[in-house]
Amino acid sequence: MEKRIRVLLFKPGLDGHWRGIMTVSKALSEAGMETIFFGFKTVEGVVEAAIQEDVDVIGFSVHSGAHLEWARELVRELEEKGVRDDFLLLVGGVFPEEDHEELRRIGMDGVFGPGTVTGDIVAFIRERLGKVEVG
């Protein structure tokens, strides 16, 4: 039996727009993934938790306009801990399409802007991790 995909979701910084991340969290759970919603945490705390919880995916949501800064900080922290390649990294939220390429260059594997259908996030994770869900 395949192991269930484990996803850690968080909201970095102080921006309190919580709807997006909660909605994605619910959708991934409904798709059979184990999601841990980690709330409003520092990048440092999130990386430690991701290692301890042995998750496959780290995802975060930004509405404040600080998406590039947060993506850089997350990747920097993962690199410092030497675990950059252990996780699939996702970012979502309200940011301009012209920043998608920069977010990928920084190291985000999946970039999901406004209007994303949650099914696309599920499909993306499954395809990249090559795992089959068991309910």
Residues at the site binding another protein, with contacts judged by CB under 8 A: 12-19, 22-23, 25-27, 29, 35, 37, 39-43, 63-66, 69-70, 73, 94-99, 113-115, 117-119
Q: Would you state the structure tokens that stand for residue 97, as one six-digit string?
A: 């399409």
**Distance between CA atoms of 119 and 101, rounded to whole angstroms?**
22
| 19 contact partners, CB below 8 Å, separation of at least 6 | none
Instruction: Name the DSSP class of 57.
Output: E
Residue number, 37 or 109, with CB nearest to another protein: 37
Give the type of residue at 116. Answer: T
Q: Find the shortest distance in angstroms from Cβ 23 to another protein.
A: 5
Residue number, 115 or 130, with CB nearest to another protein: 115
Q: Find the shortest distance in angstroms from Cβ 42 to another protein.
A: 5
